[in-house]
Amino acid sequence: MCKMKVIVIGSGKGGVGKSTISVSLALLFKMLGWKVGLIDADIYGPSLRGMLTPEIFPKEENGFLIPACSKGIQVVSAAYFSKFEKGAPVRAPLINGIIEQFVYGIKWDERDLLLIDLPPGTGDIHLSLLQKLSVDGAIGVTMPQKISVLDVEKSLYLFQSMNVSLLGIIENMSYYQDPLTGERHKIFGEGGGRALAEKFQTKLLGKVPIDPLLLESLDAGEGAKFSLSRDELLKIAVEISNQLCDHESGKKIVEVKKIDHQTFAVEWSKKRSVHKFSKVQESCPCVLCAEKDRPSDPNVSAMSIELVGNYAVKFEFTSGCSRGIYTWQNFQEF
């Protein structure tokens, strides 16, 4: 098995089956031999607990959270905390604290795959997670109809802008196949998944049919049981497994190294470019610098350099500014 991978699953909107797909894939990946962790990042409306009844409940140990466990999948969800179980109004600072806990405060058993079920929308939670984690790939889930596609597009643009490579699109509830006649009924229209895959130049990983057993088993908290959807979901899990293990899933591994007081290098694969801290700080995008119209200081240096997700770098400048986030686009060659 390859090193621990992180995949985010997003759809931009609720009700398209993102959590259903997340739980299904978690169980199928486990069947394929992966040790799987699953995070329900929908803090406003967590649903995974209801779908996967835990055999082992989460607990706190030395300031760390030990995840719940259901059917061999380790699960983290705000729904395990009574305050959130029934849906609570949560202010942004609290959300950020919870996300920090999810990223830094979980004591996982040895895992080789972490699936993150993102909430609807493209807000704070998405940004925080994609900034704090090094994500190996994203999956977009859509339904076939146009209105669903439009919302999913927003998530895909967000992934692109944060340099998270798209593993592909899953079209969910593509059709219902009559078990007696074999006839396929396209209840929610058709073509959305293919159109999205073409627009974002990625794969249509599969078209998952409406599966009453899947719905019933998840409603009963029994995890995912498959009948009509089994073959397609398994095909998708195998395809993603192969993508994850065969290559680095397109992720750009970028390193930023200080050379001397005034200069640093940005390195990616066999490319390397050298830059001056002063030049970079001149274009600091943070509000404070923009307001002050800070004059250029040729001697400015960086006290620390920190990568932000897959897509950017943050400097703590000796001038006191440490707020600007510089995406790779700032360094031309990238």
Residues at the interface with ligand ADP (CB under 6 A) = 11, 14-20, 47, 172-173, 208, 210-211, 214-215, 218, 229
Give me the least distance between CB of 198 and ligand ADP, in Å please. Answer: 22
Residue nearer to ligand ADP on the CB measure, 22 or 249:
22
Give me the least distance between CB of 229 and ligand ADP, in Å please. Answer: 5
Which pair of tokens denotes residue 245? 């293990």
Around Cβ 56, how many Cβ atoms within 10 Å?
Answer: 12
Residue nearer to ligand ADP on the CB measure, 173 or 240:
173
Report in angstroms the alpha-carbon separations of 67 from 54, 120, 297: 10, 23, 49
Residue nearer to ligand ADP on the CB measure, 218 or 313:
218
Give me the least distance between CB of 18 and ligand ADP, in Å please. Answer: 4
Where is 324: in which H helix or E strand?
none
Give me the least distance between CB of 10 and ligand ADP, in Å please. Answer: 10
Residue 31 and residue 331: Cα distance in Å, rounded?
43
Tell me if 248 sits within 8 A of 288, measured CB to CB. no
Residue nearer to ligand ADP on the CB measure, 19 or 165:
19
Tell me if 133 sits within 8 A of 162, measured CB to CB. no
Locate the DSSP E strands across 173-311: 176-177, 184-185, 204-208, 254-258, 263-268, 271-276, 302-308
Give me the least distance between CB of 188 and ligand ADP, in Å please. Answer: 11
Residue nearer to ligand ADP on the CB measure, 76 or 302:
76
Is the torsion defined by CA of 127, 131, 132, 138 positive or negative?
positive
Give me the least distance between CB of 191 and ligand ADP, in Å please. Answer: 17
Residue 111 and residue 177: Cα distance in Å, rounded?
36
Give me the least distance between CB of 255 and ligand ADP, in Å please. Answer: 36
Residue 198 and residue 156: Cα distance in Å, rounded?
12
Residue nearer to ligand ADP on the CB measure, 45 or 250:
45
Residue nearer to ligand ADP on the CB measure, 142 or 241:
142
The CA angle 334-269-284, to the nearest 5 degrees, is 35
Residue nearer to ligand ADP on the CB measure, 66 or 218:
218
Taking CB atoms, the residue at the shortest distance from ligand ADP is 17
Report in angstroms the alpha-carbon separations of 265 from 58, 117, 257, 260: 43, 35, 5, 10
Give me the least distance between CB of 19 and ligand ADP, in Å please. Answer: 3
For residues 139-156, b (16+ Cβ closer than 10 Å) or e, as one string?
A: bbbbbbbeebbebbbebb
